[in-house]
Amino acid sequence: MKKLLPLAAGLLITGCAMPQTPPQSAASPSAISVDTLKSVTERLSADDFEGRAPSTATEPMVLDYIVSTFRKAGLKPGYKGQWLQEVPTVEITGDHYSPLTVSGAGKPLQFAFGSDYVGVSYRPVPHTALKDAELVFVGYGINAPELGWNDYAGIDMKGKIAVILVNDADYANATEDGPFKGRRMTWYGRWPYKYEEAARQGAAGAIIIHDTFPAAYGWNVVNSSWTGAQYYVKTPQDGMDQTQFNGWLQKPAAEAILKAAGKDLASLTAAAQKAGFRAVPLGLKASVAFDNTVRRSTSHNVVGVLPGTSRPEEAVLYSAHWDHLGRCTPDASGDDICNGAVDNATGVAALAAIAEAESKAGGAARSQVFVALTLEESGLLGSAYYAQDPAVPLDHTVGGVNMDALAPGGRARDYAMIGGDKSDLTALFRKELAAEGLVESAEEGTEKGHYYRSDHFSLAKRGVPMFNLGRGVDLVNGGKAAGEAADADYTQNRYHQPGDEYSADWNWDGIVEDVTLFYRLGRALADSDAWPNWHEGDEFRAIRDASCAKATGGCHK
């Protein structure tokens, strides 16, 4: 599950301490080259690239083209003196699933894979088996020290399975009031956080109770996403520091399990929504087993750099993913190539156009790193690996711009900050909007957690503060009606379909507006000495503070 806003483009801006000198508005760039935007988008979405699937026969062709484009734009090899960063990945496909069996209260309960539960292992092992693991209800499975909230307080989870509620404790609030920002989903409400925290707590397994409203999608989405091949970026521990089993459970199945334990899901949910909740051992044990087919492969990020003139050890990052879906379900004409022109040949084209403009403008004080990322469509894996092994250490990475799915069409009057006001750099964002004659609009669908579904997030979860920026639908020509119609047309007829193809008839005005704004934001940081931070109480503030405290130079000012 990834972005649901095809007009959105991700903006990330990073730093650590309070600004020494607030970033000033950037000078307007040398004109963003429409010819570059067109030519790169057209070439990357051509049929002979077969939809740019990673680790296929066409990947070397794609990489060669991106490298030549970066070199032409004036960049130098940016990753340890090379253009390419290897991204090792692991594909794990589960099969031969047993029922999920729960025992300890009369006749054992059995739940079928697919219809009642789904699950996978993050560990690349041939067989996964949990036998008689204790079940513990851990509320929303959140440990947030900055909020004084710990659902795992006082419980030893070693060898046990955490049973977890979806979303976070105040999701039902219609406003953003509450410790977890109410209706706006935070990182603590996302399923990857819940699995990661269960692993940190030493759990053998973690299973989330699905409920359509707080999840913001039905069981059909869970079932389709969690069956079949799953992709992971290789970590230093090769996944062995994760739980053995991560899964989802249908709500009626969860209710039956809790009833067998003498508990009630509604009552436990109400208790878990209050500060001071303590985990509840259920007195039941669960068993599950399945086989895993493991395949390892390697893809590549492309990294270029424009060195800084006075502080080259500090960097601003520009990123966009180059990969797409490859060959896919044919359309009515028999076309089975998902070309990914909008998603995300346009983003890579924006990298090239900004690099050209930056080269013409002359180097900034700080270095500017340009990264074409792989495996976004497989779960943000290229950016996750880059965040593990960045070209410039994260405590020396000031910020940047992530560009994803820039939609053709006319200029908009407004832009929204996806994720809301999370860092000190909100002021810079608003300053650049004003300089371009634009206004800020409210984010739609805050409960869906769009902020956590694109490549900028891989840096955020490692403490690098980020904005995610979305072009609005209030178009200069046609207003909101025209913008909403264009949005709906792309979503229904082209998004992740063979119809996402380049057209010579595209209107590039809106994309040029996007790229100009991205340039201004990045350049303002690159010429600044500011190190802004997340706001107090933000879920990523403590991570960034700890990173900066250990740094030599960079954000440790």
- DSSP string for residues in 307-332: --SSEEEEEEEEEEE----EE-S--T
Among 169, 494, 529, residue whose Cα is nearest residue 344: 494
d(CA 316, CA 31): 21
For residue 26, the model assigns a pLDDT of 62
CA-based radius of gyration for the chain: 23
Q: Are 426 and 417 in contact (CB under 8 A)?
A: yes
**Locus of tokens 């998004």:** 495
Element (H, E) at 288: strand 280-306
Of the pLDDT bands very low, low, confident and very high (cuts 50, 70, 90), residue 491 is confident
Reply yes or no on whether the pLDDT at 22 is more than 70.
no
Reply yes or no on whether the pLDDT at 9 is more than 80.
no
For residue 451, the model assigns a pLDDT of 86
Of the pLDDT bands very low, low, confident and very high (cuts 50, 70, 90), residue 2 is very low
Global pTM value: 0.88
Contact partners, residue 437, CB within 8 Å, separation at least 6: none
**Which range has highest mean pLDDT (19-23, 295-299, 397-401)?**
295-299
pLDDT (tens digit, 9 = 90+) per residue, 327-385? 888 889 999 999 999 999 999 999 999 999 999 999 899 999 999 999 999 889 999 99
